[in-house]
Homo-oligomer: A and B are copies of this chain.
Amino acid sequence: MTVLAFLDYASVFVFALTGALVASRAQLDLVGFVFMASLTAVGGGTLRDIILNRDTVFWVAQPSYIGVACLAALLVFFTAHLLESRYRTIVWLDACALAIAVPAGVAVAVAMGQPPSIVVIMGIITGCFGGLMRDVVCNEVPLVLKQGELYVTCALLGGVAASLAHYFGLPQPLALSICAGSAFALRAGSIAFGWHLPVYRAFPPQQK
């Protein structure tokens, strides 16, 4: 299995766990779990493949990705009651999935010979849009847009780090590890320690 396929499988699995957990919060049935798990798992990568006009969307070429998402949904359906807080589990699993999906998006764009700006954007799309679709469909506040948290910023950092590593000629596995590590570290710091960038505040406060 290539590095690229491994990253895709891993991000599909972890994103699927978060989708299934959101389904558990919406009290869906098992098919609803599978639906939300699959949407979350392949949403970002599908958008990446469509925008890059790849010949075949990754999971159409290899339907076993959907099988992996189904497994994750089953796992959550029968074990989610063991969790103390599903919401915190979603947030942390989502952080892991983000950190895996960004290098997956980056690697595809690099393999297609895209310029650095598109490489970074494909990392962001692959990392952020699966979770965004999950949250929009289930009417949760999108994690992507939560005030005072870093999310897109983490994907951006990972993408930039990967582009720099690539530019300086580092071998691909190292470059992708740096990408995943920096994205996860920043996201984890934001969740655990409240790291954030200054947010916009209306001034004067009564401004509409």
Cβ distance A102 to chain B, nearest Cβ, rounded Å: 14
Asked whether, in the complex, the Cβ of A30 is within 8 Å of the Cβ of B197, the reply is yes
Cβ distance A121 to chain B, nearest Cβ, rounded Å: 7
Name the contact of A63 in the complex, choosing from B30, B115, B203 (C-beta under 8 A). Answer: B115
Asked whether, in the complex, the Cβ of A152 is within 8 Å of the Cβ of B200, the reply is no
Asked whether, in the complex, the Cβ of A46 is within 8 Å of the Cβ of B51, the reply is yes
Residues of A1-54 contacting chain B, CB below 8 A: 23-24, 26-36, 46, 50-53
* CB of A198 within 8 Å of the partner chain: yes
Listed A/B pairs (11) with beta-carbon separation below 8 Å: A29-B150, A29-B197, A32-B145, A32-B152, A36-B145, A51-B57, A60-B114, A60-B118, A66-B121, A77-B200, A84-B207
B residues near A137, Cβ cutoff 8 Å: 132, 136, 142, 144-145
Asked whether, in the complex, the Cβ of B207 is within 8 Å of the Cβ of A85, the reply is yes
Q: Write the chain B residue with the least CB distance to A201.
A: B27
Name the contact of A81 in the complex, choosing from B80, B156, B202 (C-beta under 8 A). Answer: B202
Number of copies: 3
Contacts known (A46-B51, A117-B66); A23 close to B200, Cβ less than 8 A: yes
Asked whether, in the complex, the Cβ of B51 is within 8 Å of the Cβ of A60, the reply is yes
Q: Write the chain B residue with the least CB distance to A84.
A: B207
Q: Write the chain B residue with the least CB distance to A26.
A: B145
Name the contact of A29 in the complex, choosing from B51, B66, B196 (C-beta under 8 A). Answer: B196
Contacts known (A32-B145, A136-B136); A27 close to B200, Cβ less than 8 A: yes
B residues near A117, Cβ cutoff 8 Å: 63, 66-67
A142 to B139, CA, bound (A): 10
B residues near A115, Cβ cutoff 8 Å: 63
Cβ distance A133 to chain B, nearest Cβ, rounded Å: 10
